[in-house]
Amino acid sequence: MVVHMMLDAALSDTVEKFPVDIQLLKDMIEGIRFDQKKSRYKNFKLYLYCYFVSKTIGLMCVPVMGIAPESYATTEVYNAALALGIANKLTNILRDVGEE
């Protein structure tokens, strides 16, 4: 219970200090629900799964890193954050294939 309270406090503090899009948090929670429902994805529906469980995290990190939404580089930065998110998730999946 104490750990949950600490995590709630940390999340509340982050959302208060930085312009994190709340929809990204909702999408990440939806990704966690994907994990509870299904573990195999045909073809590249995997990319949708990767958005919910990994790309959202990369996107939430952008404002925390201090990049203002009105920045001229925002599109490039967000595209890089999306690419990094999918690369990280696909790497994790490939790493786990042998174990599963």
Has residue 84 got a pLDDT over 60?
Answer: yes
Closest CA to 52 of 33, 30, 19, 71: 30
Pick the more confident residue, 64 or 100: 64
Helices (H) and strands (E) in the chain, counts: 5, 0
Let me know if 63 is exposed, middle or buried by CB neighbors in 10 A (0-12, 13-18, 19+): middle
Find the Cα–Cα–Cα–Cα dihedral 39, 44, 48, 49, rounded to 10°.
Answer: 20
pLDDT cut 90: percent of the chain above it = 0
Closest CA to 54 of 19, 90, 20: 90
Pick the more confident residue, 77 or 69: 77
Has residue 13 got a pLDDT over 80?
Answer: yes
Has residue 27 got a pLDDT over 80?
Answer: yes
Q: Judge if pTM exceeds 0.85.
A: no
Pick the more confident residue, 17 or 98: 17
